[in-house]
Chain A
Amino acid sequence: MKKQSRRDFFKLLGVTGAGALFYGSRAEASDRLRVNDEELSMLYDATKCVGCKACMAVCKRVNGDYGDLSYEHAKFDADSLWDSPSDLSGNTRTLIKLFKESDSRWSYIKYSCMHCQKPSCVSVCPVSAMTKDKVSGIVDYNKNTCIGCRYCQVACAFNIPRFQWDKTIPQIVKCDLCKNTNLRQKGIPACAETCPTGAISFGKRKDLLQEAKKRLQEHPDKYVYHVYGEQEVGGSNHLYLSAMPFDKLGLPVLKPEPPAEFSEKIQHTIYKGFIAPVALYSTLCFIAVKNLKKQGNGHDADDSTQHEEDK
């Protein structure tokens, strides 16, 4: 009796576990990521940046109303004259930081959304509030659908999406390449338009990639020989050049495989065509109804054997 029941049990475990175990099998060829080099892109060359922060100022001026951004005041600034964010935040979409190793070795760095080719935030958003435009490649956020679950923040390898922790009606804040503001009016994001030193270039990904590689070729001594964003997490549309190692500048070392591809592969295998859940439900229904029927016929006798079984 006991053996019988244990076998049933493992059978059941097999049924419930099968779906989950099933995943490792294969990746669909159609799921493979293709990099679209026609998408809109931005190239930030840290060696050309002088840290004037004009891009930060103009970003907040242009997107302040649309993006619900406020000025952040420092403690020492009693008159509230300056906007002085210390990091990307619920009020700040882009930020310039200085990394200083010694008096002679330092670099500025600009943070803003990487506009990934395969964005994790879009992959995880349960209500499609994060979207990636098929043509422009802009990763955009729609506060009117967002439920504020902050899964995008958990998922983003660059910690880009920020949440308005101190607002009654909060939202996620991130760069959208001025999609509804400067880009629509003038055809260029405000930061790229404003940059006085040409540290921010704007264009198609393929052109900027070419430009970046040209600069690397012409001044191999000046740069770290790497275009950050070309390969990272499957490629991003925000590209970086720098004289300092990128991980020191707060840009993490990342593998070329997009994390979203890994998670989607598993999720898709389990839930492909919703077959596994339906199969599980019908199998369980079959077993349960059969058990209850057995129970119905001669309940008392059955009940006593049941008691025996587990002894």
Chain B
Amino acid sequence: MAGHNDEFQRLEGKIFTKSFFILLALTLIGFYLIAVRYIKGIGVVSNMSDGYPWGIWITYDVATGTAIACGGYAMAILIYIRNRMHYHSMIRSAILTSMFGYGLAGFSVMVDLGRPWNAYNFFIPSKWQANSAMFEVALCVMAYSTVLMIEFLPAILTTLEKTRGERLQKVIKWVSPRLVPDEIRLQAGLERVRSAASWLRPRLDKVLIFIIVLGITLPTMHQSSLGSLLLIASTKLHPLWHTGFLPLLFLINCVYIGYSIAILESIISSYNFKRPFETKELAGLAGLIPWLTAIWLTVVIGDLAWRGQIGAALRLDFYSGFFLLEFLLVAGGSCMLFSRNLRNSVRWLFVSAAMIVLGGALYRFNVYLIGFNPGQGWRYFPSLAEFLITAGIIAFEILGYQVLVKIFPVLPTLGGHGGHGKKGKPEPVQDVAPVSVPGGVLGK
């Protein structure tokens, strides 16, 4: 991110599209149900029970959602640690989706918590409880969300530096024409914003790398701790999944999900926004995934063999079915990616990455929900309202992504990094390429 601002551009286009309103509708339904939950209690909207105290809000929004949001983490490892700077053009959109993914998790936690007003206790040292994996996850996730926002700041600052305040003026005019300030005051105000932004940005660039590395350390910690959360449920979690290796498995799992999701995101947004596919970057990225999944699958099998649970995995009952499904999705997708030809085809990239994301996500569902059995008589399947709340929050997230890529320079600059477009290139637009600015010490 440091100093590479000319790699990114804003996506031109209308903000209020059809999909905008569909997503908005979903968001509003979800938020209405969230309001009901706060007024009448969690039991009114959800099917959770004392046996299944964690439903899909924790399983999907937190445990799986943050893994899917690991695109930023995985890309940062690749770019800054493995020194593959030519992937740099993909990082902003990865960070933006990570930001929304973690935002989704944080938001859902606030919906899920029974007594969220007590959450300030996380900041009171006398209440700290280092034995609890949850404590570690909570602090790390909060810290990481902050880090993600700082990582995204350069995009905002670049925009602020060049802003002429037209959009703002339009919004104010829409609210009430009387509020529109006179031209001179407006220009003076904007000038202040611009100079503040251009003061801050080079300074931020200098320290950004330390923030970025923090953004690699924190997910390493909390993604493994998401696995540790279930270590204590030794009597409830099925032996196929309950193992001391849970933290390691969750960690590797989130990295390969991260790379796969970065591929999916890139393909989907290229398709959706009618931009050329970044096939070369994606193929290179895809080459890494099978190595990670191979390690992961080896640990899974080795651990099962060591604990003598291979038989349980092949019993073809309910649990073994879900285990095999998860296993085959990940293994199948990885096998495809070993082939160079398939890696270079957008279609097959999409299919294999999707399989790996599904398999990896199913693993997390298996650990948190499907393989979790609190004893006789307990049953859980999420209620419609529970689904709708999750759908509402996801819709809100996609909505935010769609709007922000149109306001801030997030997506890679066209033509700059070897896109082989199948779609027609969009109209050349003004105000696209941000001026190249002198980077900080660490920039180019």
Which A residues are closer than 8 A to B by beta carbons? 5-6, 8-9, 12-13, 16-17, 19-21, 23-24, 88-89, 120, 123-129, 143-151, 153-155, 157, 159, 161-172, 252, 254, 259-260, 262-264, 266-268, 270-271, 277, 280-281, 284-285, 287-289, 291-296, 299, 302-303, 306-307, 309-310
For this complex, 7 residue pairs linking A to B, each with C-beta atoms less than 8 Å apart, are A12-B77, A13-B292, A88-B50, A145-B121, A151-B132, A252-B375, A306-B86
- B374 → chain A closest CB, angstroms: 6
Which B residues are closer than 8 A to A by beta carbons? 2, 38-44, 46, 48-51, 53-54, 77, 80-86, 112-116, 118-119, 121-122, 126-136, 138, 209-210, 212-214, 216-217, 220-221, 224-225, 228-236, 244-245, 247-248, 251-252, 284, 287-288, 291-292, 295, 374-375, 441-444
Q: Which residues of A contact B119 (CB under 8 A)?
A: 147
CA distance A303 to B85 in the complex (A): 7
**Are B247 and A266 interface neighbours, CB within 8 A?**
yes
- A164 → chain B closest CB, angstroms: 7
CA distance A222 to B80 in the complex (A): 71
CA distance A288 to B217 in the complex (A): 12
**Are B234 and A169 interface neighbours, CB within 8 A?**
no
**Are B132 and A154 interface neighbours, CB within 8 A?**
no
**Interface of chain A, main secondary structure:** helix
How many interface contacts (CB-CB < 8 Å) are there between A and B?
231
CA distance A153 to B337 in the complex (A): 41
**Are A150 and B248 interface neighbours, CB within 8 A?**
no
Q: Which residues of A contact B247 (CB under 8 A)?
A: 20, 23, 266, 270
Q: Which residues of B contact A159 (CB under 8 A)?
A: 50-51, 374-375
**Are B41 and A148 interface neighbours, CB within 8 A?**
no
Given A125-B129, A128-B127, A267-B131: A5 and B233 interface contact (C-beta under 8 Å): no
Q: Which residues of B contact A254 (CB under 8 A)?
A: 235
**Are B134 and A126 interface neighbours, CB within 8 A?**
yes
Given A20-B251, A126-B135, A144-B118: A153 and B53 interface contact (C-beta under 8 Å): yes
- A171 → chain B closest CB, angstroms: 7
Q: Which residues of A contact B53 (CB under 8 A)?
A: 150, 153-154, 163
**Are B115 and A143 interface neighbours, CB within 8 A?**
yes
Given A13-B295, A150-B54, A296-B442: A263 and B134 interface contact (C-beta under 8 Å): no
- B148 → chain A closest CB, angstroms: 17
A307 is contacted by which of B86, B112, B132, B212 (Cβ under 8 Å)? B86
**Are A154 and B233 interface neighbours, CB within 8 A?**
yes
**Are B122 and A120 interface neighbours, CB within 8 A?**
no
Q: Which residues of B contact A284 (CB under 8 A)?
A: 81, 213, 216-217
- A56 → chain B closest CB, angstroms: 17
Q: Which of A89, A127, A157, A287 has the most CB of B within 10 A?
A: A127
**Are A292 and B244 interface neighbours, CB within 8 A?**
no
CA distance A143 to B212 in the complex (A): 38
- A275 → chain B closest CB, angstroms: 13
Q: Which residues of B contact A299 (CB under 8 A)?
A: 444
Given A263-B231, A281-B217: A126 and B122 interface contact (C-beta under 8 Å): yes
Q: Which residues of B contact A264 (CB under 8 A)?
A: 131
Given contacts A154-B229, A159-B374, A306-B83, 8 further A-B contacts (CB under 8 A): A16-B251, A124-B134, A144-B118, A150-B114, A163-B42, A267-B136, A271-B136, A289-B209
B217 is contacted by which of A161, A277, A292 (Cβ under 8 Å)? A277
**Are B132 and A292 interface neighbours, CB within 8 A?**
no
CA distance A296 to B85 in the complex (A): 11
Q: Which residues of B contact A292 (CB under 8 A)?
A: 2, 80, 209, 442
Name the residue of chain A whose CB is nearest to the CB of B46. A165
The 5 closest A-B pairs by CB, nearest first: A148-B114, A165-B43, A150-B53, A126-B135, A263-B231
**Are B81 and A288 interface neighbours, CB within 8 A?**
yes
Q: Which residues of A contact B130 (CB under 8 A)?
A: 267, 271
Name the residue of chain B whose CB is nearest to the CB of A130. B129
Q: Which residues of A contact B81 (CB under 8 A)?
A: 12, 284, 287-288, 291
A126 is contacted by which of B129, B210, B375 (Cβ under 8 Å)? B129
**Are A163 and B40 interface neighbours, CB within 8 A?**
no
Name the residue of chain B whose CB is nearest to the CB of A277. B221
- B366 → chain A closest CB, angstroms: 15
CA distance A308 to B194 in the complex (A): 40
Given A151-B132, A288-B212, A292-B209: A306 and B234 interface contact (C-beta under 8 Å): no
**Are A128 and B217 interface neighbours, CB within 8 A?**
no
Q: Which residues of B contact A281 (CB under 8 A)?
A: 213-214, 217
Name the residue of chain A whose CB is nearest to the CB of B284. A310
Q: Which residues of B contact A146 (CB under 8 A)?
A: 114-115, 118
Given A285-B210, A288-B212: A145 and B118 interface contact (C-beta under 8 Å): yes
Q: Which of A145, A151, A171 has the most CB of B within 10 A?
A: A151
- A249 → chain B closest CB, angstroms: 12
**Are A166 and B131 interface neighbours, CB within 8 A?**
no
- B139 → chain A closest CB, angstroms: 9
**Are B217 and A294 interface neighbours, CB within 8 A?**
no
**Are A266 and B244 interface neighbours, CB within 8 A?**
yes
